A and B are shown apart, each in its own frame.
Chain A
Amino acid sequence: MLHRFAKVVVGCTVLLVLAGSLVTSTDSGLSVPDWPTSYGWSMFTFPPSRWVGGILYEHGHRLIASTVGFLTIVLAAWLWVQDPRRWMKRLGFTALGAVIAQGVLGGLTVLFFLPAPVSTAHAGLAEIFFCLTVAIALFTSPRWIAGYSGEGDGSPYLTSRPVPAGVDDAMLRRMATTATVLIYIQILLGATMRHTGAGLAIPDFPLMFGHLVPPHWDGKIAIHFAHRAGALVVTLAILATSAHVWYQHAGRHELTRPASIIVALVAVQVALGAFTVLSRRDVWINSSHVVCGALVLTTSLVLTLRSWRVKFAGAPAAVRLKPDTTTVDAAATAHALRSVRLPATGARP
């Protein structure tokens, strides 16, 4: 149940990212000039009949954010009560702290008329919070707890043949971690571009003012160019990581699956980026580009965390997790218990 609830929080956070991107894409960030109230009303009693124009996006974003905040409180409390792993309890409260800080940043950016650094920090923290929810959902999953090892580990696609215990590939860990960090930097560049009004500073695609490199420069063109160059770097990093997974760990579906998904997402993301420019920042294309970027980041995060799974080791405490053992079959539990490598090195479950 806890894992399912964590997945619900992830789903709601995707909606929240979409709502936030729509606020910026429609230039509605200041359509509700006060915070935390809405035109003097409490956020929750502001009449729906008044959700007109830009208010629909800004107020909708606030309501979805409040819902996600409430769900995060429940998630943190649930982890505190039910999850025996101490670091998971802390992770739950880290997520709660992140969503509170995110709300405060959102309020500050309204009260200070959308200063680019605050708006960019708001966008950057949104991605961190999204990553936290995805990580919690991953860490509470039966397959993570079972260590992605052996037969019958709960995976629907690993039932017919034995698979060695968790992948221990230092190169993969380096590549995946690097890719995730690069994606996050790229998202920060994108957020800077959006919040400094540089989205169309280079108005053509794939060329730039008809050239491979812009023939003239200013601050906005430089930010826009950095985002395009970053896209190239990130794409190469992701392709290299995915290729490594396919060549070295073809039988490990917990790795090949996100490696395949992320390549598809990157292809969509590059296309959305191009169409954002070519459509002169169409609202839905632009917003989809933001959401897809978040999905690229979290898919890379999942791949990265799974590549690090062996370093977390397995521990009896993990598989005694009450709410989730209902979804782990007995064979998987027994196997996980057998294959546990206890934290002689200090590794945590």
Chain B
Amino acid sequence: MRLRNVWVGAFALALAATVAACGGKQETSSTSAEPPPGATKVDAATAGEVSGTVALDGAAPMNEPIKMNADPVCVTKNTTPQFQETYQVADGKLANVFVYIKDGLGNYIYDTPTEPATIDQMNCRYHPHVFGMRVNQPLQIINSDPTLHNIHALPKSNKEFNNGQPIQGMKMTHTWETKEVMVPFKCDVHGWMNAYVGVLDHPYFSVTSKDGKFDLKTVPPGTYTIEAWHEKLGAMTQSVTLGPKETKEITFTFKASGPAATD
């Protein structure tokens, strides 16, 4: 009798845990398709520009080496030693930094692009590694590799998804419901594959190129908080005031060691 009670209790516990977990899914808030009352389009005639550079102060840490021998296809596609893409530094300038207007835009409306943003699984890497796109803009996910991948997005505000693409050339499309900086992607088949997307409800974002440069165009006059985000070094912000037709040049400098500071 006692033994039976133990088993019954154990099953009840497991079942309760399952029910609790299944019922605890968070709802994500979605961005309304309706423009807010009083919202206007940006006047291109008075818009300015914020551009600049992201630099790294100090020696860049070594990127982690990658062993691809878990998949022969990946080994074939990458014959040279492979490393993570965490720190892409040239002449002290840092690439793959996501720079965007975090705050201060006020009540503007923007057309949602119909052209899809794209992320490609090619040579057992994600291309691009860091990118930005808009809420409700289609994201096209492609597998260009002759091996299978799963694309697993791990957002906090949007809905998580994990889809398999077992056949070369497969494509799928996804849209994000709400803004989120940043949404990580990972491939659970190939543990080294990771990428990040910044999802915004406005078009003012840029990813630094190899020379560390970024450019935010057609920005209306105003005072903005601009953030630069790096996958390992964290985020920094700067406040910028932009007059009509003005161009501002700013620089973010991350420290190679220690956590990033916020201005």
Chain A contact residues, CB within 8 Å of chain B: 26-34, 39-40, 50, 52-56, 58, 94, 97-98, 101, 105, 108, 112-113, 115-118, 120-121, 124-125, 128
Find chain A residues with CB under 8 A from B166 CB.
Answer: 39-40, 50
Q: Which residue of B lies closest to A50 (CB)?
A: B148
Measured CA separation A112–B160 after assembly (Å): 9
A33 CB, min distance to chain B CBs, angstroms: 4
Measured CA separation A112–B162 after assembly (Å): 10
Measured CA separation A110–B24 after assembly (Å): 16
The answer to whether B148 touches A115 (Cβ under 8 A) is no
* Residue interface mask B160-201, A partner, CB < 8 A = 1: 101110100000000000000000000111110000000000
Contact of A117 among B7, B10, B17, B70 (CB under 8 A): B17
Q: Does B239 contact A (CB under 8 A)?
A: no
Contact of A26 among B11, B21, B187, B191 (CB under 8 A): B191
The answer to whether B70 touches A118 (Cβ under 8 A) is no
The answer to whether A27 touches B191 (Cβ under 8 A) is yes
Contact of B14 among A26, A113, A121 (CB under 8 A): A121
Q: A108 and B18 in contact (CB under 8 A), knowing A33-B164, A50-B148, A94-B7?
A: yes
The answer to whether A55 touches B189 (Cβ under 8 A) is yes
Instruction: Provide a sorted-by-A list of 14 A–B residue pairs whose CB atoms are within 8 angstroms.
Output: A32-B164, A33-B162, A33-B163, A33-B164, A50-B148, A53-B189, A54-B191, A55-B148, A105-B18, A117-B18, A118-B21, A118-B22, A121-B17, A124-B17
Q: Which residue of B lies closest to A119 (CB)?
A: B21
Measured CA separation A145–B148 after assembly (Å): 53
B window 1-27: CB within 8 A of A: 7, 10-11, 13-14, 17-18, 20-22, 24-25
Q: Which residue of B lies closest to A46 (CB)?
A: B166
B59 CB, min distance to chain A CBs, angstroms: 24
Contact of A124 among B13, B70, B72 (CB under 8 A): B13
Measured CA separation A58–B73 after assembly (Å): 19
The interface size bin for chain B is 20 to 34
Q: A113 and B160 in contact (CB under 8 A), knowing A33-B152, A101-B11, A124-B13?
A: yes
Q: Does B71 contact A (CB under 8 A)?
A: yes
A123 CB, min distance to chain B CBs, angstroms: 10
The answer to whether B150 touches A33 (Cβ under 8 A) is yes
Chain B contact residues, CB within 8 Å of chain A: 7, 10-11, 13-14, 17-18, 20-22, 24-25, 70-73, 147-148, 150, 152, 160, 162-164, 166, 187-191
Contact of B164 among A34, A98, A108 (CB under 8 A): A34
- A-B pairs, top 3 by smallest CB distance, nearest first, are A31-B188, A121-B17, A117-B21
Q: Which residue of A lies closest to B17 (CB)?
A: A121
Find chain A residues with CB under 8 A from B17 CB.
Answer: 117-118, 120-121, 124
Q: A113 and B162 in contact (CB under 8 A), knowing A53-B189, A53-B191?
A: yes
Q: A31 and B189 in contact (CB under 8 A), knowing A50-B166, A113-B160, A115-B24?
A: yes
Q: A54 and B188 in contact (CB under 8 A), knowing A34-B164, A112-B22, A113-B162?
A: yes
Measured CA separation A125–B70 after assembly (Å): 30
Q: Which of B73, B189, B190 has the most CB of A within 10 A?
A: B189
A95 CB, min distance to chain B CBs, angstroms: 10
Measured CA separation A267–B17 after assembly (Å): 32
Find chain B residues with CB under 8 A from A94 CB.
Answer: 7
Beyond A101-B11, A112-B22, A124-B10, 15 additional contacts (C-beta under 8 Å) are: A28-B189, A28-B191, A33-B162, A34-B164, A40-B164, A40-B166, A52-B148, A53-B71, A55-B148, A58-B188, A105-B14, A108-B18, A117-B17, A117-B24, A118-B18
